[in-house]
A and B are shown apart, each in its own frame.
Chain A
Amino acid sequence: MLDTLIQGLLLGGLYALFALGLSLMFGVMRLTNTAQGDFIVLAAFAVIATVPLLAVSSWVAAVLLLPVAFGFGYALQRGVLNGTLGRDPLPSLVVTFGLSIVIQNALLEVFSADPRSLDSGGFNTRSVPLGGGLAIGALPLAIFGVALAATALLQALFDRTPLGRAFRAVSDDREIAELMGLDARHVYALATAIAFVVIGVGGALQAMRTTVAPSDGPLLLLFAFEAVIIGGMGSFWGTFAGALVLGLAQQIGFRLDPGWGIWFGHLVFLAVLVLRPHGLFPRTRG
């Protein structure tokens, strides 16, 4: 059982990386990115394509692509998504859904439907002994560490920096934030740019951990969405906690029956929606 709990927490770390970008974009501009999962897959395939192109390792390729992810996210927000923002959430949902379809089909066209993965340089076969005959995989532990660091950095950015203050201000009241001299379109684009860096990290690590295929996007979106909802809106630590709960639920389900893993996660998600619709750790906003 201890092994199941540890594996659940480590899995939750990966789900946190899937969910943090979604939480950030929704938190700043109330935009639900229904292409979140597909962008994660796109990032994974971008790293997969870069490795032979530049003749570098997967880790180097992933790091090199992070500034590209930042620029891509910024351009996407400025060029496309800013135009969908308003009181009505429907335009952003429709546009991001359209992007999801475009990404999946583009990846199918370029890479075919074959699942691919990234060589982690042996990292995925190494383990860290815990004693008592237990050991943790080095890659899952690294993923958990990256997720923890990403969550801490994002929360600190929001709570302690002028940029974070700007994010919270435009989220609270865009009109008045603009009266302070903020360019809301630029602030939104920075938020999406940062979200896409996290997406890039999540995509690269997912492809090191397992195979990825062009059609994987919707399932990853589901995990990201469930993690955000379980954790509650308004806090990155809440999202992180929600991801851990989801990972634990899935691993417990897998332990009971190999076919029950994802289903158990859905059950917990449903239970939270019914019993605590604002999530387990909501941060209330005025």
Chain B
Amino acid sequence: MSQDALIETRGLTAHYGDAQALFGIDFRLKAGEVVAIIGANGAGKSTFLKALTGLVKASRDAVRWCGRPVGSLSPAMIVRLGLAMVPEGRRLFPSLTVEENLRMGAFARRSGPWDLKRLFQLFPILEQKRRAPATALSGGQQQMVAIGRALLANPTVLLCDELSLGLAPIVIKEIYDAVPQLTREGMSLVIVEQDVGVAQRVSQRVVCFQEGRVSLEGASDALTREQISRAYFGV
């Protein structure tokens, strides 16, 4: 396995009970990179992110963090290494306020540039609504809370699972406009995205999943629509 990769998987498999969801995924993420993962529903994209975070069990050597095998670690231990995730569907804590949800992101107490003050500069609406129940916010605002919660973990790698799901285009733009600022500060991102256009626009590299396997990989600005369509649908 290469030493300069932040995250690397080699032959990663994953199962839900007897059903296999990932069939030998090879993947590398370098420092400062933004990689978009695309694919149809059920292709294994979210399962891949869960395997990186330990929510889905992987074999010990299948996932490496800066060369160290982490496949068998618990999510709590992997997060403390510098990984954070914005899960699909936001999944805020309904009994916590906006501020309490955000503070949960800082539970691992990693030092870094992100704190509440800075987050409120990025998403000012959250400061206005800090004492409101998190689930009382609009979809776009909840997504900001989910992103903010992950940022407060001061991660080295941020995993984002379908940030644009259920959001209006203008809200999607506002959220993705924050990505360049994150990468300028050295954060690496893995973005699972259904919208192929958005995925190509915000990333340097695109990886396409199809039925639990990588069907296409390449530079975002080099892949054609036809190539992506073939890899997406397996035709």
- Complex partner residue of B96 from A168, A179, A183, A184, CB under 8 angstroms: A168
Number of interface residues of B (CB under 8 A): 25
Q: Among B10-18, B72-80, B185-193, B203-211, which stretch is in contact with chain A?
A: B72-80
A171 to chain B: closest residue by CB = B95
What distance in Å separates the Cβ of B224 from its nearest Cβ neighbour in chain A? 36
B143 within 8 A of A: no
Interface code A260-286, partner B: CB below 8 Å = 1, 0 otherwise? 000000000000000000000000011
- Decide if B75 touches A178 in the complex (CB within 8 Å): yes
- Give the complex CA separation of A172 and B93 in angstroms: 6
B86 to chain A: closest residue by CB = A179
Restricting to B126-156, which residues have a CB under 8 Å from any CB of A?
A: 133, 135, 149, 153
B213 within 8 A of A: no
Q: What are the residues of chain A within 8 A of B91 when measuring CB–CB?
A: 173, 175-176
A186 to chain B: closest residue by CB = B76
- Decide if B108 touches A180 in the complex (CB within 8 Å): yes
Q: What are the residues of chain B within 8 A of A169 when measuring CB–CB?
A: 93, 96, 104
A176 to chain B: closest residue by CB = B91
A168 and B105 in contact, given A176-B87, A179-B53 (Cβ under 8 angstroms): no
- Complex partner residue of B95 from A168, A180, A182, A184, CB under 8 angstroms: A168
B107 within 8 A of A: yes
Q: Inter-chain contact count A-B, CB under 8 Å?
A: 66
A166 and B135 in contact, given A178-B74, A181-B76, A181-B153 (Cβ under 8 angstroms): no
- Decide if A176 touches B93 in the complex (CB within 8 Å): yes
Q: Is the interface of A mostly helix, strand, loop or mixed?
A: helix
Q: What are the residues of chain A within 8 A of B133 when measuring CB–CB?
A: 286
- Give the complex CA separation of A169 and B104 in angstroms: 8
- Complex partner residue of A179 from B87, B103, B135, CB under 8 angstroms: B87
Q: What are the residues of chain B within 8 A of A184 when measuring CB–CB?
A: 76
- Give the complex CA separation of A175 and B104 in angstroms: 13
Restricting to B88-140, which residues have a CB under 8 Å from any CB of A?
A: 91, 93-96, 100, 103-105, 107-108, 133, 135
- Give the complex CA separation of A105 and B55 in angstroms: 41
Number of interface residues of A (CB under 8 A): 20
- Give the complex CA separation of A172 and B134 in angstroms: 12
Q: What are the residues of chain A within 8 A of B85 when measuring CB–CB?
A: 179
A168 to chain B: closest residue by CB = B95
- Give the complex CA separation of A183 and B73 in angstroms: 12
Q: What are the residues of chain A within 8 A of B93 when measuring CB–CB?
A: 168-169, 172-173, 176-177
Q: What are the residues of chain B within 8 A of A176 when measuring CB–CB?
A: 87, 91, 93
What distance in Å separates the Cβ of A169 from its nearest Cβ neighbour in chain B? 5
What distance in Å separates the Cβ of A236 from its nearest Cβ neighbour in chain B? 14
- Of A173, A176, A181, A182, most B-chain CB atoms within 10 Å: A181
Q: What are the residues of chain A within 8 A of B95 when measuring CB–CB?
A: 168, 171-172, 285-286
Q: What are the residues of chain B within 8 A of A285 when measuring CB–CB?
A: 94-95
B93 to chain A: closest residue by CB = A172
- Complex partner residue of B80 from A166, A173, A181, CB under 8 angstroms: A181
Q: What are the residues of chain B within 8 A of A255 when measuring CB–CB?
A: none
Q: What are the residues of chain A within 8 A of B84 when measuring CB–CB?
A: 179
B149 to chain A: closest residue by CB = A180
Top 8 closest pairs, chain A to chain B, by CB: A286-B94, A181-B108, A178-B75, A172-B93, A181-B79, A286-B135, A168-B95, A180-B107
Given contacts A180-B105, A286-B94, 18 further A-B contacts (CB under 8 A): A165-B96, A165-B100, A165-B103, A168-B93, A169-B96, A171-B95, A176-B91, A176-B93, A177-B104, A178-B76, A179-B85, A179-B87, A180-B79, A181-B76, A181-B107, A181-B108, A285-B94, A286-B133
Listed in ascending order, the chain A residues whose CB lies under 8 Å from chain B are 162, 165-166, 168-169, 171-173, 175-184, 285-286
